[in-house]
Structure 1
Amino acid sequence: MEGIDKTKVYFVGAGPGDPELITLKGYNLLKQADVVIYAGSLINHDLLNYCKAGAECHDSAYLNLEQILSLMEEGVRSNKLVVRLQTGDLALYGSVREQGEELAKRGIGFRCVAGVSSFLGAAAELGAEYTVPEVSQSLIITRMAGRTPTPELESLERFAQHQTSMAIFLSVQGISEVAERLVAGGYPLDTPVSVVYKATWPDCQILKGTLEDIAQQVEDAGIYKTALILVGRFLGDEYHYSKLYDAEFSHEYR
């Protein structure tokens, strides 16, 4: 591992839930951290067992942005290794930019350590591939508009026109509306859907259905948060073998 720079804050993707799905680099940083600011119940608290004795661990669920930044600044000014432990991978709904810009105002830099996103953990739970030859070669990652709006060009209806694989975050509480809008955009009612609750956690739940019946299943299961909605024919029975290992297909690389 490269040398640690205590003048910077390290943002670490905690992975989807399973404490063994944090990256080795993230694990090594947690082991050495003096201050860890973690994203409340959204991360598996077993990850904190990797921290050394005496490390300061702060639950950011009870803190506002200013309080989080103050903890970071105090740690860095005291020559401590500060780790901001966030869910999944930082590049998706991670709020890293706003924290980074505020740190810059205080003259503090940051580094990001990639994590495993829950959309990958959910596919692993299903044993599924988002990209299936001749069925789907693209994945749309999005969410339904809520208190934080989405751009007009990125509505569920517009994305549904593509009828490709889709992973919808932060929206299971509105599953009925999600299904209605996807159908209005072009997905057939019989499009396969899976809802994966707490992917890779011990209490993971998987629901399988279609856009016609998934909302009722989610309601019956009492799932209203911490779940991904996966949509598309990649979840169905249609499949075509790729050419990658075809004996009649020539390769430059394999």
Structure 2
Amino acid sequence: MTVHFIGAGPGAADLITVRGQRLIATSAVCLYAGSLVPPELLEHCPPGARVIDTAGLTLDEITAELVAAHESGHDVARLHSGDPSVFSAVAEQMRRLDAAGVPYDVTPGVPAFAAAAAALSREFTVPEVAQTVILTRTAERATAMPPGEDLATLGASRSTMVLHLAVQRIDAVVADLIPNYGTDCPVAVVARASRPDELIVRGTLADIAARVKEAGIRRTAVIVVGAALTASQFPDSHLYSANRSRA
């Protein structure tokens, strides 16, 4: 048997990959984060599948379910919101499965930052404006950030920055970013990207905190900061240039 860690995407059920949907349909056990994974995805589970909402479980309880499935010879679809490569808490599950000798693999999904870019109809890397995207978070209610990964340090490049799990600290985020980005830097907050109740709030570092509070956004949102959000005067990419050699 195999534990399949599957990126369930940012919220819209039809943003699951074909591979992810197939694995759900062929797994006798499905563990999913009930507060984040769209329930429509569970419709792909085979008849009689054991379906477990992990929202109220501890890491040890989740691991016990995975190990029990392994001992019973059942494949597991372990659904995580977005993509497992960032802010998914997959690493500690993998560590426990390695110790228990349980095999696993990973199927990527559409990450929240990509869904936010689509919702905003923006490219986060714009020629001669921004060619780097920083994905980060804050540490208010989570594990501590490593040294050198504070917002003041990360913001020194003025790259496009996407903050996860930080909208409840919007005032502190703004205060940390203004010294590097300036008060007039464009900001967008995308809540529930790709879902029917998706909400977008735009502004600058000067006014985004007030706008977010007025909109009542407190969770399931990403904050995007950087000049790429509003850039209109920039050179065309070299990728399609007539001067580029295609030999």
TM range (shorter): over 0.9
Task: Tell me the SS of whatever aligns to 1:112.
Answer: strand
1:188 counterpart letter in structure 2: G
Select 2:245's aligned residue among 235, 241, 251.
251
CA distance in 2 between partners of 1:86 and 1:233 (Å): 31
Corresponding residue of 2:85: 91
CA distance in 1 between partners of 2:59 and 2:238 (Å): 50
CA distance in 1 between partners of 2:121 and 2:147 (Å): 33
CA distance in 2 between partners of 1:135 and 1:57 (Å): 46
Corresponding residue of 1:112: 106
CA distance in 2 between partners of 1:57 and 1:239 (Å): 51
Task: Tell me the SS of whatever aligns to 2:130.
Answer: coil
Give the root-mean-square deviation of aligned CA atoms. Answer: 1.2
CA distance in 2 between partners of 1:169 and 1:239 (Å): 29
CA distance in 2 between partners of 1:113 and 1:128 (Å): 26
Q: Does structure 1 residue 80 correspond to structure 2 residue 80?
A: no
Task: Tell me the SS of whatever aligns to 1:68.
Answer: helix
2:137 counterpart letter in structure 1: R
Q: Mean alpha-carbon deviation: is it higher for 194-203 or for 237-246?
A: 237-246
- TM-score by length of structure 1 reads 0.93
Q: Count matched residues.
A: 245
1:134 counterpart letter in structure 2: E
CA distance in 2 between partners of 1:156 and 1:104 (Å): 34
For residue 20 of structure 1, report the CA deviation from its aligned partner.
1.2
Q: Mean alpha-carbon deviation: is it higher for 165-174 or for 71-80?
A: 71-80
1:120 counterpart letter in structure 2: A
Please tell me whether the aligned partners of residues 197 and 227 of structure 1 are also in contact (alpha carbons under 8 angstroms).
yes
Select 1:180's aligned residue among 154, 159, 175.
175
Task: Tell me the SS of whatever aligns to 1:140.
Answer: strand
1:62 counterpart letter in structure 2: G
Q: Does structure 1 residue 161 correspond to structure 2 residue 156?
A: yes
CA distance in 1 between partners of 2:97 and 2:53 (Å): 19
Corresponding residue of 1:242: 237
Residues 202-221 of structure 1 correspond to what in structure 2 (within 5 A)?
202-221=196-215
For residue 243 of structure 1, report the CA deviation from its aligned partner.
2.6
Corresponding residue of 1:58: 52
CA distance in 1 between partners of 2:202 and 2:222 (Å): 12
- Give runs of ≥4 in structure 1 deviating > 4 Å: none
CA distance in 1 between partners of 2:101 and 2:147 (Å): 36
CA distance in 2 between partners of 1:161 and 1:82 (Å): 43
For structure 2, the 5+ residue unaligned runs are none
Corresponding residue of 2:37: 43
For structure 1, the 5+ residue unaligned runs are 1-5
Q: Does structure 1 residue 170 correspond to structure 2 residue 161?
A: no
Residues 5-24 of structure 1 correspond to what in structure 2 (within 5 A)?
6=1, 8-24=2-18
State the percentage of identical aligned residues: 40
Please tell me whether the aligned partners of residues 9 and 109 of structure 2 are also in contact (alpha carbons under 8 angstroms).
yes
CA distance in 1 between partners of 2:84 and 2:238 (Å): 34
- TM-score by length of structure 2 reads 0.96
CA distance in 1 between partners of 2:176 and 2:59 (Å): 34
Task: Tell me the SS of whatever aligns to 1:141.
Answer: strand
Please tell me whether the aligned partners of residues 129 and 231 of structure 2 are also in contact (alpha carbons under 8 angstroms).
no
For residue 251 of structure 1, report the CA deviation from its aligned partner.
2.8
